[in-house]
Amino acid sequence: MSKMNLTRRGALKTGAVAGAGLALPTVLRAQDNYLNAPTGDTVTLGFNVPQTGPYADEGADELRAFELAVQHLNGEGDGGMLNTFSSKELQGNGILGKKVAFVTGDTQTKSDAARASAKSMIEKDGALMISGGSSSGVAVAVQGLCQEAGVIFMAGLTHSNDTTGKDKKANGFRHFFNAYMSAAALAPVLKQLYGEERRAYHLTADYTWGWTQQESIAAATEAMGWETVNNVLTPLASTDFSSYIAPVLNSGADVLVLNHYGGNMVNSLTQAVQFGIRDKQVNGKNFEIVVPLYSELMAKGAGANIKGILGSQNWDWKLENEKGEKYAGTNAFVKSFGEKYGFPPSQAAQTCYAQTLLYADAATRAGTFNPCGIVEALEGFEYDGLGNGPTLYRAADHQCFKDVVVVKGAENPSDEFNLVEIVEVTPVEQVTYEPDHPMFAGGDLGTCNPGA
Amino acid sequence: MDAIILQLLNGLDKGSAYALIALGLTLIFGTLGVVNFAHGALFMIGAFCAVTLSGIFNLSHKSSEPSGTDFLGNPKYEDVLYVKDWFGDAVGAWMLDWSVPLSVLFAIPIMLALGFIMERGLIKHFYRRPHADQILVTFGLAIVLQEVVKYFYGANPIPTAAPAAFRGSFDFGVMLGFDPNVIIYPYWRLVYFAFSAVIIGAVFAFLQFTTFGMVVRAGMADRETVGLLGINIDRRFTFMFGLAAAVAGLAGVMYAPINSPNYHMGMDFLVLSFVVVVVGGMGSLAGAVLAGFLLGILESFASMNEVKMILPGIDQIVIYLVAIIILLTRPRGLMGRRGVMEE
């Protein structure tokens, strides 16, 4: 029988070792203790896009991009932007060695429907990440749901300041630019082309995106000397804007700002042109129309009416060809997408593709699918090679900061893919703002929720 | 004053679309007693007739020589239009430019046929069923038609231009003695108003001055008695369904340049048109036309900034407000028959 001498130092050592031993499984458990932790050899992502309703075409393009991203992550196809992405963690063998599978939902561009489909994908299909959408109202709603549920939300197309402003959430991330950035990018170009003394009349879609865009554009243009004559809110369900456009003609304004998106924008722009606004002169100046947020599908829908009209985009498929190597990744993505589908990708497609790669890369760098690990990996992450130039995922609000593209409708488009021309690419420094900027004030990022 | 005249013109134009759709709805309700919730879809299909004919005129083949490179850097071949090959450059260009007005001729047989097929294939089985069943089946049909159109044409609006001669706007105010540039109005909207007036007049003339119309009106008043006289009233009513479909379709064709056609444009008009029919009086053709113009004008005035400053949001509810007031004070609607919608 051995004799045991219990000294103070020995007791402390033993206690520390025993404590560490007991604590270790807890630490390991915490690492795995999150919602929908994958147990098999696949990991499921949820792509929630409008498959019905007025934005169904945009949703279809997002879905094409998601499918392409999944292919590339699984090592199929030419790899697309995996080849140009500055982070070299992704090897085309899925994410953390698990093959990527996906499920899809239909947002119908309705918040309730979008939340229901996201909930179903999380609860029934075990989705670990939700991405997609073509509306800020939907993005805010689904982001809130993902925060409550404990999964990551990689927003698709959402342009309202509120998404990473008063409605920001720790589990939510936005690659797409926002209304403030559009305004900051557009204002210098508007000043250069249309002068400092202008009177602007705003027609604004009556919901979160319209309000924040109007506020942003009005602030940016007023700061350079423009006057805002009027701001008229138009119902989201409007199809005939003629009764809102008619008063513009005699308001004394010489610029009409259409804070409309999708079908609303197509109709309001078409009708504004029909009413002869672009042929009119006020105070010796040509009457101009501005559409702050452009999309390729909107340009297509508006047809010849879009000619010469200024707007902004998050990305354009011609970026690398026209503006050089800084926007590397653009051509790689256009090639993959174009060869698979026969036409160039939209900005909605690019943002969804990039979000999927960014999620996969963050999980790989974190070494876990735990949302808290992914949040940590994405916060403050600087990267390049996904088509937008050097980009920062800011920790304070989970907003991406990168250059903004200013475009105008092509006067003589060479084909249906060249409906807009790049006028300028505004450097990221000019569109960056402080996290506590008044337009983004309020709300609380909170802390990550792993869902368990 | 100029603002009021401008909104009056707008109202007449909105009213034209409401009146044409409501006229078709009333024709169907008056003859067959069916509440047709697929009527908005017929309006939408009319607009897509314009899109289709324009698409046919734009059919092309690739040139034999590459003219550059496409977005992927592959050789790109120019599209050569068949209409220009077959009819020459001048005639081909004219056909493309006038594709919307030409679509009226294209749409008439299509809409008539669609109306006949709908009535014989589906609606006739619901004549003796409650209105709720009719509403359900026709609403379902509307969704099916909508989804079929979306499948073939996509969800994005498709720009459809008016002929070059009717694009842009002109100074309407100068004709009324106002200063130049005060009342400017688009040409095509005036064309639409004139077209609607012609169609409405033609439908009334058809019912009023032809033997066929007289029999239909007699059938609307007393179907059984007309049947007992040995007249096949069912066949005439089937034709009226086709005619109503054609009216809705033509309204859609000519509306295409005003708002780029999209697959859900019928739904946007449907509820409003039903309100128009109810306000005008179920079954009253004149009531539908009157209420269509009345509500179109009221909606336009409610959108004026001056009105919205006093009554915010009035533009969104004015039509329903008027409908409530009229139905409370006169349940049969403005020109409805006693016994329909009231005891």
Tens-place pLDDT, residues B136-147: 999 999 999 999
- Give the model's pLDDT for residue A15: 54
Q: Do B186 and A250 touch (CB under 8 A)?
A: no
Helix boundaries (H) for A280-344: 296-302, 319-323, 330-341
ipTM of the prediction: 0.83
Residue A21 has pLDDT above 50, yes or no: no
**Hey, is the C-beta of B74 within 8 angstroms of any chain A C-beta?**
no
Give the model confidence (pLDDT) of A303-362 as tens digits: 889 999 999 999 999 999 999 999 999 999 999 999 999 999 999 999 999 999 999 999
Interface residue B327 vs chain A (CB under 8 A): no
Put simply, the chain A residues between 267 and 326 with a CB less than 8 A from any chain B CB are 267, 270-271, 274-276, 279-280, 297, 300-305, 317
Distance of CA B35 to the CA centre of its chain: 17
Give contacts of A 218-247 with B, CB under 8 A. 230, 232, 235, 237, 239-240, 242-244, 246-247
- What is the structure's pLDDT at A405? 98
Average pLDDT of the residues in B117-138: 89
Three-state DSSP class for residue A204:
strand
- Nearest C-alpha neighbor of A242 from the set B142, B331, B9: B9
Give me chain A's average pLDDT, please: 91
Percent of chain A with pLDDT strictly greater than 90: 77
Q: What is the pTM of this model?
A: 0.86
pLDDT value, residue A29: 42
Q: Assign B57 a pLDDT band (cuts: 50, 70, 90).
A: very high
Q: Chain A residue with minimal CA distance to B156? A: A57
Residue A26 has pLDDT above 90, yes or no: no
pLDDT of A11 reads 54
Q: And the tokens for A366?
A: 């974190």
SS3 A373: helix
Residue pLDDT, tens place only, B205-234: 998 999 998 998 888 788 888 888 888 888
pLDDT at A350: 98
Distance CA B289, CA A210 (A): 36
Q: What is the pLDDT of residue A262?
A: 86
Residues of chain A with pLDDT > 70: what percent?
A: 93
Q: Between B222 and B258, where is the model more confident?
A: B258
On chain A, the residues whose CB falls within 8 A of the CB of B14 are 240, 242-243
Write out the DSSP string of B56-116: HHT-EEEEEEEEEE-TTSSEEEEEEEHHHHHHHHHHHHHHHHTHHHHHHHHHHHHHHHHHH
A195-207 pLDDT per residue, tens: 999 999 999 998 8
CB A95 within 8 Å of CB A360: yes
- State whether residue B305 sits within 8 Å of chain A by CB: yes
CB–CB of A276 and B10 under 8 A?
Answer: no
C-alpha–C-alpha distance, residues B188 and A313, integer Å: 32
Judge whether residue B58 has pLDDT over 70. Answer: yes
